[in-house]
Amino acid sequence: MKFGQKALVSTALIGAAIAGGTVGASLLGTAQAQTSSTSSSSTPSSSSSSSSASAPANPGPHTANGITETLLTGDDLTKATAAANTAVPGATIDRAETDADGATYEVHVTKSDGSKATVKLDASFNVTSVEAGMA
């Protein structure tokens, strides 16, 4: 094979490799886009189906003063939410947790007018204060 023919064949092979790589990358990119759109479409539907009041506006438990708050469960949750409902009638419970800022427990609520409040409780689930806003 002459030099000119070798150069032509080499160029054709390189061009085919580049074209094949481009097509492969395009297919992979399309597959990734389909996967991404599928996962992003399933995420909103699951959050809209749960539509809990503790969505983005409620940051959840945090750490303060070296203490990490934990969500309440079981009897503690039942007692805390009952106390909060008595203190703020008609409110929706957003979350109930231990408190890192002084009280034993706190219950975050949304009042019937849409405003937020935090009900602070002692160890016996007695309301010690109701603070405006989410703390």
Domain co-membership, 41 together with 4: yes
| 58 in any annotated domain | no
| 57 in any annotated domain | no
What are the b/e assignments for 84-120, b being 16+ CB within 10 Å? bbebbeebebbbbbbbbeebbbbbbbbeeeeebbbbb
| 83 in any annotated domain | yes
CB atoms within 10 A of CB 8: 12
Contacts of 85 (CB under 8 A, 6+ apart): 91, 93
The tens digit of pLDDT for each residue in 26-84 reads 555 544 444 444 444 433 333 333 333 333 344 566 666 677 789 999 999 999 999 99
pLDDT value of position 116: 96
Q: Provide the number of structural domains found in the chain.
A: 2
Q: 14 pLDDT exceeds 70?
A: yes
Domain co-membership, 37 together with 74: no
Domain co-membership, 73 together with 125: yes
Domain co-membership, 47 together with 94: no
Domain co-membership, 25 together with 70: no
CA–CA dist 129, 135 (Å, integer): 12
Q: What domain range includes position 76?
A: 63-132
Domain co-membership, 45 together with 72: no
CA–CA dist 17, 69 (Å, integer): 58
Contact 60, 94 (CB under 8 A): no
The tens digit of pLDDT for each residue in 93-120 reads 999 999 888 899 999 999 999 999 999 9
| 71 in any annotated domain | yes
Domain co-membership, 84 together with 128: yes
Contact 127, 87 (CB under 8 A): yes
Domain co-membership, 47 together with 67: no
- Please, what is the end-to-end C-alpha distance for the chain in angstroms? 81
Domain co-membership, 73 together with 39: no
CA–CA dist 25, 49 (Å, integer): 36
CATH code for the domain of 111 = 3.30.505.20
pLDDT value of position 64: 67
Domain co-membership, 80 together with 126: yes
Q: Which of 14-18, 28-32, 83-87, 121-125 has the lowest mean pLDDT?
A: 28-32
Name the β-bridge partners of 105.
Answer: 98, 121
Domain co-membership, 16 together with 72: no
| Model confidence, pTM | 0.54
**3-class secondary structure, 62:** coil
pLDDT value of position 107: 95
